[in-house]
Amino acid sequence: MESFFVRYRNLLVLLAILLVQIVGLAVQVRRVRTGRYSLDPNDGPGVRLIRLWADALVSPPERAIHDTRLAIVWTWTNYLDLRNVRRQNRDLEQTIDRLRLEQAALLEDAKQGQRLQALLGFREKYIYTTIPAQVIGSSGSEQSRLFYIDKGSKAGLKPDMAVITGDGIVGKVRDVFLDSAQVLAVNDQTSGAGVILETTRIRGILRGNANGQLMIVGILADERIKPGEPVLTAGGDLIFPRGLPVGVVEKVVRDPDRDAFIDVMVKPAAHLDRLDEVLVITSTQPRFSNQEQKDIDTSESDAESIEEQLKASQINAERLPGLNDGNAPAGQNPGNPAAAGPPAPKLLPTLHPDRFSPSAAPAPDAGPAQAAPNSNAAPPKPEAKTGANPAKSGPQSGAGRNP
């Protein structure tokens, strides 16, 4: 059997020659950056054709192998080997939960800080002595309006002390324990407070109904009471000081038991359903700041010094001999004004004078011309001609007896 090389010798030689020529052309010819082919060595550096052909032959399978490897790694990482992913996911979820709790705590601290800042500003401006307290619990019943605070007898709390906020009154201390106290809110049915309407000045008793709403009872029907009128404490209950805000009038309803009376529904100024921080009034004696107390002490010392100067001047006026003249008549002693007697009263003219009037009465030794200096005096009566005046009646009587 004839061999393959012998049988296709001519063809193989031709193919070898063509291959050598092609390789020679590929080694000699370059491809410049402009995309054309050049044989001039003075042209810029380029890529030989053999390299381009080799890259064209090798790149597709190499790219396929690389893409296959990347696909396998991506599939293994994202679908097959998920142990690390599950652990990371669990850690991230725990971190997210922790951050959410911290965010909620920080938000609550920020809100509490704002409330405490407002409460502190109100406490600094408030004239009475107060103690801040935190609400720690409630009664847990819809019928009773009670809550607990974290201050007790150690802090100086006593029953019937007023509990307020910066917005208005809240209630009064009912029972006091060592480190806590029970507060009865003003909207409880058993609670009460004396209030007054700011505009109409009508007084009444503030109580709560079964639904926890504030209402003023025991008021006669009055058309002047309108919604929106502020309600203040009257101070007559000896618990809440006078002038504290209670709320505003919400509406006026008829008393179902008494026709002539009305019930005034009040919208509370304080948020009784969501209390966090409160103030307990421990003393109703006015308190002043350091500067105010200094001003008060200064004014009192000035008043005392002025009083001492007045006393000293009076003592000197009594001791100095040139100021008082003992021989001077009363009322002419300039050094001792107190020695002068009271001024003589001035007599008013008599409207209808007669002979018994002080202005018309004659002096004891005065003649007829000096009997009545007042021009308005009445003329003498007729009986004065018969014998009242001896100067005029004497000659007439003698002439009558001598014929």
Quick: pLDDT tens for 375-398: 444 444 444 444 444 434 444 444
Q: Which pLDDT does position 31 carry in this prediction?
A: 61
pTM (2 d.p.): 0.48
Asked whether 389 and 368 are in contact (CB, 8 A), the reply is yes
Neighbours of 174 (CB within 10 A): 18
Q: How confident is the model at residue 97 (pLDDT cuts 50, 70, 90)?
A: very high
Q: Whole-number mean pLDDT of the chain?
A: 75
3-state secondary structure of 11: helix
How far is it, in rounded angstroms, from Cα 155 to Cα 178? 9
Specify whether domain 126-283 bears CATH 2.40.110.10: no
Is residue 74 within 8 Å of residue 81, measured between CB atoms?
no
What is the residue whose two structure tokens read 């920020």? 110
Residue type at position 190 = T
> Measured at the alpha carbon of residue 147, what is the angle toward residues 146 and 149, in degrees to the nearest 5?
145
Give the pLDDT of residue 272. 87
* Residue 74: HSE in the Cβ half-sphere, 13 Å Cα cutoff: 6
Please give the Cα distance from 380 to 368 (Å, whole number): 11
For residue 346, what is the DSSP state?
Answer: P
Looking at residues 283-288, what average pLDDT do you find?
68
Rounded-to-integer distance, Cα 152 and Cα 177, Å: 5
pLDDT at 342 over 80: no
Number of helices (H), then strands (E), belonging to the chain: the values are: 6, 15
Across the beta sheet with 47-48, the strand order is 37-38, 30-31, 47-48
Q: Residue type for 143, please?
A: Q
pLDDT > 70? residue 366: no
Single-letter amino acid, residue 11: L
- DSSP, collapsed to helix, strand or coil, labels residue 184 as strand
Q: 160 or 311: whose pLDDT is higher? A: 160
Q: Which residue has the tokens 């003219």?
A: 349
Alpha carbons 175 and 42: distance in angstroms, whole number: 109
- Residue in this structure with the two tokens 């393959």, named with its chain if needed: 4
As a whole-number percent, the residues of the chain with pLDDT over 90 amount to: 18
Residue range(s) of every CATH 2.40.10.340 domain in the chain: 126-283
